Structure 1
């Protein structure tokens, strides 16, 4: 695995791009915190970009399946570079509308980039190495998030807000160079097979496949549980910072959650040798709810950081396991549409969670909101477990997964 140059290119590119992504995200939060007092309005602005990605999702899936993955990665990567220009204009003109244009354009680029990357990994990594690769990829993304947020915090102290976005453009240019070096052998037979499977029904073509592979469908639904926390993450960080009257807590939260995520993504490979896939998914979905309940004590720095550490470790175990189920059990000729559908589903949830969290924070405050989210997460976990047992769905990996087309 370690002699595979494509793996090193993907991981190095992710590290560089992550630095650009997270310096930009911290810049966005700073820009909004200075100009927009209402949490609901912040959520509304963030949701505009997600809505644009949601609309583009169906066509993105078909294009990814019908096109060379490397071409999609290059075009969408270039689009991410161009989108940052809008944010530079927003800062220079002190304009929220240019920031909205930035949110829309970068989310459109992400709508193509991330599903294409998720569909690329099974093409360059052996099936037996997928769990390791997913964990590594998520760890690299987390390391870049920790470094990126810390770097952004330092830059905000000594440099201007605009400098964060200059770093973003440089990082996205670096990602583009690394993407050019990828060698992906998709094979003419596979391309022909994929094109013959793509009809005109958009995401409707995914539903018969999900029915044939119920473990994929159940896992897909399970991944929505952590989104209650993840979708409101940035708003929660801002509110914790205000409750504790501490600007430095933001960086500490990202650091603790990031390090714990890396620990989880590393540990899950060994946990999977002891626990079944079902146990891993349901146990760590429950731990996400526990982390939400812990934030009821948001005045305490120790319990706040502990809550985000619990969240990080849980997500580090949960998502690599779920991704292996998707990559192994979903036929490869449907990967582009499936991962685009998954991203679209997540965007819908992000929209709902963002707007709900923004309204809750304005109306009932952080502490009552996290208790509400914790109760919803626990209830959904229990409901999905009962449904899985009732329908006799088995999430464990089969000895051999034979890709079939429908």
Structure 2
């Protein structure tokens, strides 16, 4: 895998683009802090951008399946760079409306770029290398997040907001240039495959029903999302609970490092154990991490909870991505990954609003019990069904062996 130039192009591009993305996100927060006093209006602005990405999902999925994935990556890369021009204008005129156009442009380009990237990965590595590739890819994204946010924080102390966005745009430009060097083996499709690729967005639903492992992975993804959706709000509340500003940085660091460890370990585990069983184990450990935040007023307990969560999702997501890439027909990859992208965005917003509501009404310690218990119940109920299905399929496989004897 490491001798494949496409792997290096994607990983290097992901790191550079990640730096630009997170520098831009910190820039967004800085701009909103200057021009938007209301937290409610800030949230509305961010949600508007996300909703634009969700609305574009069906068109993005259909286009990715029916067009060259490399061309989709290139066009969405150009659109991302052009979107930054709105932000330069927003800074120049102090206009929130121009920033809204920037957020919509960024989210629209992301709605095409990320599903196309997920659909491209199975085209550059072998099936047995997918878990390792997905794990390394997520580690690179995590590393770029840590470095990008830290770099933006340092830069804002010394340079203007315009310079931060200029560097962000330069990173997007490097990603665009690297995309031209990708060599994707996009074979000429047959007439039947063309009909499948040009079908409607909702055709992904019957495909999911025929791929129970992929459907299981999609449902189990709800469990880490219950934690991720309220991540930032929980960090702020833990900091207030412990009356420590330093703990915020430590929680992010511990979670990020644990995630990277999990993503490195998952390849060995995936080679030895059933993928669905592994997902159930990591869903269970994610639920435990959520419940253990009841004791988040203790410094070491909060670090342990976030460390366990990072390790769990570092193993969970590479396995989930591999299941999606291998169990869903490649002709449906664009529509499926667009559908998953839409689902993640909607779920994130629902959990974020639910977290805010529960924090205001019952507080952090009881909120984590509610979400943790929900995660645990989903894991146990759904896990029981999946384990029974696995044992039945194993029994069916053994029947022909007995007959042959």
Asked if the contact 1:287/1:310 (under 8 Å) is kept, the reply is yes
What is the aligned partner in structure 1 of residue 344 from structure 2? 346
How far, CA to CA, are the matches of 1:96 and 1:302 in structure 2? 41
Distance change in 2, residues 1:259/1:267 (3 Å): same
The gaps in structure 2 that reach 5 residues or longer are 395-405
Offset of residue 175 of structure 1: 0.5
One of 369, 372, 376 as aligned partner of 1:371: 369
Change (3 A) 1:137 1:99: same
Aligned with 1:225: secondary structure? Answer: helix
Unaligned stretches of 5+ residues in structure 1: 397-406
Residues 215 and 395, structure 1, Cα contact 8 Å, conserved in 2: no
- Matching residue of 2:54: 54
Deviates more, 1:24-33 or 1:263-272: 24-33
Which residue does 1:279 correspond to in 2?
A: 277
With over 3 angstroms needed to count, the CA separation of the structure-2 counterparts of 1:336 and 1:208, relative to structure 1, is same
Bigger-Rg structure (1/2): 2
Deviations 1:254-276 (A, max 9, x none): 32221111100001112224433
Question: 1:181 is matched with which residue?
Answer: 181
Once residues 344 and 352 of structure 2 are traced to their aligned partners in structure 1, the CA distance between those partners, rounded to angstroms, is 12
Deviation string for 1:22-76 (max 9, x for gaps)? Answer: 1222333344456666665544333222211111111110000011011100111
Backbone CA RMSD of aligned residues: 2.6
Question: Contact 1:27–1:164 at 8 Å: present in 2 too?
Answer: yes
Shift of 1:386: 3.0
Trace 1:385-404 onto structure 2 (pairs within 5 A).
385-389=383-387
* Secondary structure of residue in 1 paired with 2:223: coil
When residues 302 and 157 of structure 1 are mapped into structure 2, their CA distance, relative to the original with a 3 A threshold, is: farther
- The CA deviation at 1:15 is 0.6
Deviation larger for 82-91 or 176-185? 82-91
Provide Cα deviations, 1:69-107, integer angstroms capped at 9, x if missing partner: 111001111222222333334444444433333322211
296-305 vs 169-178, greater mean Cα deviation? 296-305
- From the superposition, tell whether residues 96 and 343 of structure 1 become closer, same or farther in structure 2 (CA, over 3 Å): same
Residue matched to 2:166 = 166
Alignment partner, residue 196 of structure 2 = 197
Q: Which moved more, 1:351-360 or 1:84-93?
A: 84-93
For residue 380 of structure 2, what is the aligned residue in structure 1?
382
User: Which moves more between the two structures, 141-150 or 239-248?
Assistant: 239-248
Whole-Å Cα distance in 2 between the matches of residues 388 and 54 of structure 1? 30
Asked if residue 329 in structure 1 is aligned to residue 327 in structure 2, the reply is yes
Deviations 1:260-317 (A, max 9, x none): 1110000111222443323310111122222223333444443333322221111110
1:399 is aligned to none
- Equivalent residue for 1:100? 100
Q: Mark the CA change 1:250 to 1:152 in structure 2 (over 3 Å): closer, same or farther.
A: farther
Q: How does 1:31-70 map to 2 (within 5 A)?
A: 31-32=31-32, 41-70=41-70
Cα displacement string for residues 90-133 of structure 1 (whole angstroms, at most 9, x for unaligned residues): 44444443333332221111110000000001011111111111
**1:88 matched to which residue of 2?**
88
For 2:36 and 2:360, the matched residues in 1 are separated by 13
Tell me, in whole angstroms, the C-alpha distance in 2 between the residues paired with 1:303 and 1:382. 24
**In structure 2, how many angstroms separate the alpha carbons of the residues matched to 1:283 and 1:329?**
20
1:263 maps to: 261
Deviations 1:135-157 (A, max 9, x none): 11111111111111221222233
Residues 204-252 of structure 1 deviation map (CA, whole Å, 9 limit, x = unaligned): 2111211211111111111121111212223333444455565554443
CA contact (8 A) 2:66 2:198 kept: no
Mapped to 2, the partners of 1:35 and 1:188 lie a distance apart of 51
Q: 2 CA distance for matches of 1:7 and 1:394?
A: 38
Q: Which residue of 1 aligns with 2:292?
A: 294
